[in-house]
Amino acid sequence: MTAETGTASMFGDVEQVSENQMVLNMGPQHPSTHGVMRLLIEVDGETVTKCTPDVGYLHRGVEKLIETHDYRGGITLTDRMDYTAGPSNNMGYLMAIEKLMGMEDEIPLRAKLLRTAVAELSRLASHHIWIGTHALDIGAMSAFLWSLREREKILYLFEQACGARLTTSFMRVGGTGPHDVPESWVENVDAFLDSYTLDELNSLLTGNEIFQSRTRGVGVIPAEQALSYGLTGPPLRGSGIDWDLRKARPYAAYDMIDFEIPVFPEGDVYARYLVRLNEMYQATRIVRQCMEHLRDLPPDAPSNADRPDLVPPDVGRVPFDMEAMINHFKLVMHGVQPPVGEAYFGIEGPKGELGYYFVSDGSGMPYRCHVRSPSFVNLGVMEDAAVGGLIADTVALIGSIDIVLGEVDR
């Protein structure tokens, strides 16, 4: 691309802008954009008259890559999309494959409880990044440091469970896979919940006059607009619509758990803040209940479905047991082979509905895997919601939509 055409496409609308208006280019590496994103903003004085997000700087072709890997190989690609909540992405991917194979009922309770607990811990981890960077965008430094300190404890739990902190690739089709969590994990999670506190962040921000003046009545998304733009997750519930897949179509172990869905009707940045903050309190409740249920299970409760065609044999048996070795060889060479068909499965991820659409041609690799990423769809509302606000409000709005560019661009 030559310099001339580059300039022309960057500021394609410059000729149409009147004398009082100005075109501002935010990004592609503005710190408030939470990654590599560009906002092309037309302003009249300080008021935004048009906002055009430009995404794709992190496009890695994950959907194409998943089509060239076997089903197990795709797991490692999923947690590199929303890297603030890796286990949640793994879980959506695996449950979509399980739906494709029609084996949702075969997943043992222990695996369901562990998945639920890890998904809620990753929701906490994701919201900690959000609350820290969102407050930082608006000018509160302490919240970022305190928030990441609490998040560190959660990442330590992930490390204990599977050996990785961010890109966990935890769990496999059919259950937890060959590596269950260590025996001490349940006690460690309980100890974490005892030491964990959200009240610091709550007292730092919720009643803070400066924070409220920057967020109340700012970036309002009416309920009509939220529905039409296909918003899901906290931006939808912050506009007063009570919809959550964990309640509407309970998956994993959510039907056993007592929890509530926070909904706030105002539709502004502050409402979305309150939704996420209350979700964090609810997530700790869910994790605690999962740990109680896990403790009630007998010690020899299975954590994988009884399906040798999907679940690898115990690693210790492979060198000494001929059948285990053949089983292991078949799984490594041919992988999971779902029947011909298609399935869509969505989970309530930290950022909204994270859906996977699979088309299988009966082979060991997906014929098509589409990722319905909540960040991408939620970001679309920027084109409307930013108009009429101030430039500084745009920054608050981006923070409140809570995007991760790895997931937007895939």
Partner 1 sequence: MISTAPTPTIDAAGIVSRVRELAGEAFEGGRVVRGDPVVEISPDAIPELAQALRDDAELRFEQLIDVTAVHWPADVGREFELVYQYRSLSNNLFLRVKARVGDGGSVATLAHTYQSARWLEREVHDLFGIGFEGHPDPRRVLLPEGYEGHPLRKDYPVEGPTFPEDAHRNDLFGNLDPDDFWDDPPAGASGS
Q: Which residues bind partner 1 (CB under 8 A)?
A: 1, 5, 9, 55-56, 59, 61, 63-65, 68, 99-100, 102, 225, 227-230, 232, 241-244, 247-249, 259-263, 278, 341-344, 346, 353, 355, 357, 359, 367-368, 370, 372, 376-377, 379-381, 383-384, 409-410
Nearer to partner 1, 221 or 311 (CB): 221
For residue 384, the minimal CB distance to partner 1 (Å) is 7
Which is closer to partner 1, CB of 227 or CB of 326? 227
Cα 191-197-203 angle, rounded to 5 deg: 170
Lookup: tokens for 291: 């740990």
**Smallest gap, in angstroms, from Cβ of residue 59 to partner 1?**
5
Compute the distance between CA of residue 122 and CA of residue 165 in angstroms, rounded to an integer: 11
Best CA proximity match to 252, nearest among 410, 53, 98, 27: 98
Query: Which residue number, 86 or 346, has a Cβ lying nearer to partner 1?
Result: 346
CA 125 vs CA 30, 148, 155, 193, 274: distances in Å: 23, 9, 8, 13, 17
Q: Which CB, 143 or 379, lies closer to partner 1?
A: 379
Q: Report the distance separating Cα 37 and Cα 293, nearest Å.
A: 43
**Per-residue CA distances from 157 to 31, 101, 198, 242, 258 (Å):** 29, 31, 18, 31, 23
Residue with Cβ nearer partner 1 (45 or 61)? 61
CB of 342 to partner 1, least distance (A): 6
Q: Which is nearer to partner 1, 181 or 274 (CB)?
A: 274
Burial of residue 68, with CB atoms counted within 10 A of its CB: 0-12 exposed, 13-18 middle, 19 or more buried? exposed
Minimum CB–partner distance for residue 11 and partner 1 (Å):
13
Edge to edge, what strands does the sheet with 352-360 contain?
Answer: 341-349, 352-360, 368-372
CB of 91 to partner 1, least distance (A): 18
CB of 344 to partner 1, least distance (A): 6
